[in-house]
């Protein structure tokens, strides 16, 4: 991640004692060790075995910090959110804010938290490993700019719940470029496991809103898409202004577009010139209804 907004990728490391260490990359490619990260003016102390992640939590254009930890430190035994309150994107200043409505996992150490839109609904979710080898999913039931959580789900494959023995850490990505999230999971013995996502699996139950949205449809006509525009077709029983949001797999808003459409089928050409290569989530909103689709951007 680019911690100080200088265009170079930086590094945040955690240690056994719950401290966070920042290394900023210089223009010549070398890394410089910075002071230990602080929150509310205090050196961040997560107790033991903490796991950090940087993400724009409230979608205000500035990176925030979320950390898991265990032990007797000031922010331990929970997922802890440090909001960046500095308007200068080059110099983050973190203040403490405990994330609400997250049911704690019994084995709370070595959780290795990840922020990722796992269910492809345009909102950032939380995924964490555990000391005992499982991987948990916390669905965002709020919005992308104001996440809320209520409990957890134990992730599973076709053969049963994921359990790799001990100290699981998950990396989320689209391994095979099929538009579906996959996971690489590490464990204490140094082995890596690949869990491929299956299209359409994991979202069998429909909400009332999803059922109502079936009258709308969004189709990507060129997928993967390699040009500067993405041709799509949108169908709706009514006319109006449609808003199309484009998210990456971390739930970060990349672009937003508005179009006037008529009732029935409308062909649209979405400007993709500013989109990075990879999987992009298109979410079309008309009134109180929405529909989403994935597209793979290649260059």
Beta strands 20-25; 31-33: pairing state: antiparallel
Angle CA 137–141–147, to nearest 5: 90
Q: How many helices (H) and strands (E) does the chain have?
A: 1, 25
Per residue in 206-264, pLDDT (tens digit) is 454 544 444 678 888 888 888 889 999 888 888 889 999 998 877 778 899 999 988 88
Q: What pLDDT is recorded for position 215?
A: 63
Q: Which two tokens stand for residue 66?
A: 């979320």
Per residue in 163-201, pLDDT (tens digit) is 888 889 899 988 887 778 899 999 988 899 999 987 665
Compute the average pLDDT of residues 22-43. 89
Task: Report which DSSP code applies to 100.
Answer: P
Task: Report which DSSP code applies to 281.
Answer: E
């Amino acid at each position: 991640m680019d911690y100080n907004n200088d265009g170079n990728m930086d590094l945040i490391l955690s240690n056994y004692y719950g401290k966070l260490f920042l290394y900023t990359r210089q223009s010549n490619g070398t890394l410089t060790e910075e002071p230990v990260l602080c929150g509310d003016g205090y050196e961040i102390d997560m107790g033991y075995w903490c796991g950090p992640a940087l993400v724009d939590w409230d979608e205000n254009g500035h990176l925030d910090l979320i950390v898991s930890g265990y032990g007797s430190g000031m922010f331990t035994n929970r997922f802890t959110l440090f909001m960046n309150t500095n308007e200068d994107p080059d110099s983050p200043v973190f203040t403490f804010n405990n994330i609400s409505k997250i049911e704690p996992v019994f084995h709370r150490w070595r959780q290795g938290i990840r922020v990722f839109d796992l269910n492809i609904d345009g909102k950032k979710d939380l995924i964490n490993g555990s000391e005992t080898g499982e991987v948990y999913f916390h669905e965002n039931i709020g919005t992308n700019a104001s996440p809320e959580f209520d409990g957890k789900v134990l992730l599973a494959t076709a053969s049963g719940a994921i359990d790799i023995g001990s100290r699981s850490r998950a990396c989320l990505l689209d391994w095979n470029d099929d538009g579906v999230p996959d996971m690489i999971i590490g464990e204490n013995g140094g082995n890596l496991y690949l869990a491929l996502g299956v299209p359409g699996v994991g979202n069998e139950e429909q909400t009332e809103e999803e059922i109502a949205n079936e009258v709308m449809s969004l189709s990507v006509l060129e997928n993967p898409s390699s040009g500067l525009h993405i041709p799509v077709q949108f169908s709706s029983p009514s006319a109006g202004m449609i808003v199309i949001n484009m998210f990456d797999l971390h739930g970060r808003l990349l672009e937003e577009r508005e179009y006037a459409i008529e009732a029935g089928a409308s062909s649209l050409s979405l400007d993709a010139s500013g989109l990075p290569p990879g999987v992009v989530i298109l979410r079309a909103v008309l009134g109180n209804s929405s529909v989403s689709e994935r597209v793979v951007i290649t260059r």
